[in-house]
Amino acid sequence: MSLKDYWAYEFTCAKSIETMLTVFNEAGPWIWQMRDSAWYGDYLNARPSEGVRVRMHEVRGIYSALLQIESESAAQQNQVDEVCRGLLAKIHAENIKEIEPYD
């Protein structure tokens, strides 16, 4: 898999990851699922369109959002980013800053 766009944010939020799941799914337009990872623990995952993946992780009270668009996807970074930032506003995320993508 080669990536066309790959970026991440860090933020704080008073809501639990379970509450974020509910808010995100009620807000749309993406469908979110709770996943479990030995590395990250519980995290949220959305695949809004072919070749696009968005994940939300929580580590020691700090949340991060990891966004990736595969090279063959027709999705554009600005469109994916706009929806993501809108969802962060819905959960009243604070201290949002861009960070290096991780995996």
The answer as to whether 95 is a domain residue is yes
CB contact at 8 A, 69 and 6: yes
Residue 31, CB-side half-sphere exposure with 13 Å CA sphere: 1
The answer as to whether 43 is a domain residue is yes
Q: What is the pLDDT of residues 28-82, one digit of tens each?
A: 999 999 999 887 789 999 999 999 999 999 988 899 999 999 999 999 999 999 9
Burial-class residue 102 by CB neighbours within 10 Å (0-12, 13-18, 19+). exposed
The answer as to whether 5 is a domain residue is no
**Total domain count for the chain?**
1
The answer as to whether 27 is a domain residue is yes
Q: How far apart are CA 80 and CA 75, in angstroms?
A: 7
Q: How far apart are CA 79 and CA 75, in angstroms?
A: 7
- State residue 1's pLDDT score: 61
Domain of residue 37, residue span: 10-53+75-103
